[in-house]
Amino acid sequence: MPFKLSKIIQLKIHQLQLDHLRKLSWRNPYLLAASTGFLLMLVMIIHYQVSIHSSLRIQESEFKYEVGSGSNLTRIVHDLKKQGFIEHPRYLLLYAKLSGSANKISTGEYLIKQGVSAADFMDQILSGKVIQYSITIVEGWNIYQLLDAIKNEPNIKHTLQGLSHQEIMKHIGYPETHPEGRFYPDTYHFPRGLTDVEFLKRAYVAMEKKLAEEWDKRATGLPYKTPYEALTMASIVEKETGQPSERKTIAGVFVRRIEKRMRLQTDPTVIYGLLPKFDGNIRRRDLRKDTPYNTYRRRGLPPTPIAMPGGEAIHAAMHPADGKELYFVSKGDGSHYFSATLEEHNRAVIKYQLKGRKKSFSSFDAKTGKAKK
C-alpha cells in the first residue's frame, strides 16, 4: 500500500476514533476504554501491514545485500534500518517471527530489486534464496587445473592456498588419498563465501557416489580388482578421446591389452608423469623416460588416475566394447582408426599421421614395448 494512502487511512481512523469517543464519553467508561483499545489496536495493525508491505528504499535498480556468518534477524533488520531501507525494524522482526522460520537464516548474498517489499525481502532471507555462483569442473581436467580454477574464483573463501596435495586431502577429510581423479566433473552452484574445503568435499562425494553406482552395475570379467582401478582406466579413456561414441571402443582396446599383458602405450599417461613441468610437446625422450606413469615402459595401469573422468568415461570403463582391436591412431579430425594387428596399425599411422610418408617412421612393438623401425 502506498505511503500517502496509508496516511489518509490513518487520519480517517483517528477522525472516526475521536467521533466515537465523543459519543461514548458520557455513557459507559468501560465501554469507552474497550473501544479505545480496539481502535488503537486497529491502528497498529494497519500501521504494521503498511510498514512491512511498503517497498524497500533503494536507489539502484537492484542491490546485493550480504548476510555474513553469525548474523541473526535482529542484526539484519537493524542494519536495514541503518542503511535507510526500512523505517520500522521491529515490525519486520515481528513478521519474521510470526512466519515460524525466524531461526532459518542462510549466509550469502541476497538480491534486492527496486520495488520489492520488506516482507518479500524477508521471505527471501527466511527461505535461503541466496545468489548462486558456479564452478564447472571440466571432464578431463587434472588436479592442477581444478585447484587453479578454485584459486581464481573470487566468490570462494580460500583456505588451502600454499598447501601440498597431500595436505589438501587431509584438510578435506581424506588423508593418505591421492587427489587425482577424485572430484566429479559437473557444474556446482554455491553461495558467496563457501570455503574451498566445502567445495572439494562436495565434488569428492559426488565422484564416490558415481563410481559406486557404476561399479555395482559393471560388466563381468573385467580386469579391475577395485573401483579405483576402474577410475584410473576411466581417466585414460577420458583423455584419449572427445568422441562419446568411441569411449567404449577405446576402453575395450585397453582392457584387451591388459588381458594380453601388453603395455597400454598411451601418451596421456606419459604426459601426466611430466606434470607440472610439461610444456605441451611430448618428445621421443619423454616416451623413453621411465616414470610410474610411462605406459610405454611399464605394464598395467598407472598408479593413479591421470584426470577427472566424466560419467560417460566411467561408464565406458565399466562396459567396454567387445572386439579384436588392440590399437588406434588419431585421424586428425577428433576420431580414431582402430586396428586389430600391428601391421594394420602401422599402415594407419602412415596414412593419418605421416600423410603417406614412410621415412622416419617408427612404431613401438606391442610385445617388447621397444621402438620398431
Q: What is the pTM of this model?
A: 0.78
In this structure, are residues 291 and 303 in contact, taking their beta carbons and an 8 Å threshold?
A: no
Alpha-carbon gap, residue 188 to 132, rounded angstroms: 10
As given in the structure block, the three cell numbers for residue 9 are 487511512
The grid coordinates listed for 283 are: 618428445
Mean pLDDT across the chain: 86
What residue spans define the domains of the chain? 3-52, 62-127, 135-212, 230-372
Answer for the pair 332, 351: CB distance below 8 angstroms, yes or no. Answer: no
The arithmetic mean of pLDDT across residues 150-158, rounded, is 95
Tens of pLDDT, residue by residue over 302-356, are 999 999 999 999 999 999 999 999 999 999 888 999 999 999 999 999 999 887 6
Contacts of 235 (CB under 8 A, 6+ apart): 180, 181, 305, 306, 307, 308, 309, 313
In which band, very low, low, confident or very high, does the pLDDT at 186 lie, cut at 50, 70 and 90? very high
**Greatest CA span in the chain, whole angstroms?**
122
Least confidently predicted of 30-39, 42-51, 355-364: 355-364
Task: Report yes or no: 161 and 260 within 8 Å, Cβ to Cβ.
Answer: no
Q: What is the mean pLDDT of residues 245-263?
A: 97
Question: What's the full length of the chain, in residues?
Answer: 373
pLDDT of residue 214: 98
- Residues above pLDDT 70, as percent of the chain: 84
Q: How far apart are CA 5 and CA 151, in angstroms?
A: 53
Give the torsion sign (CA, 305, 311, 312, 314).
Answer: positive
d(CA 44, CA 51): 10
Fold of 62-127: Dna Ligase; domain 1 (3.30.1490)
Q: Is the dihedral of CA 53, 57, 59, 62 positive or negative?
A: negative
What span, in angstroms and rounded, lies between the C-alpha atoms of 281 and 287? 11
pLDDT at 7: 54
Is the per-residue pLDDT at 282 higher than 50?
yes
| Out of 25-39, 113-127, 204-218, 271-285, least confident range | 25-39
CB 130 within 8 A of CB 191: yes
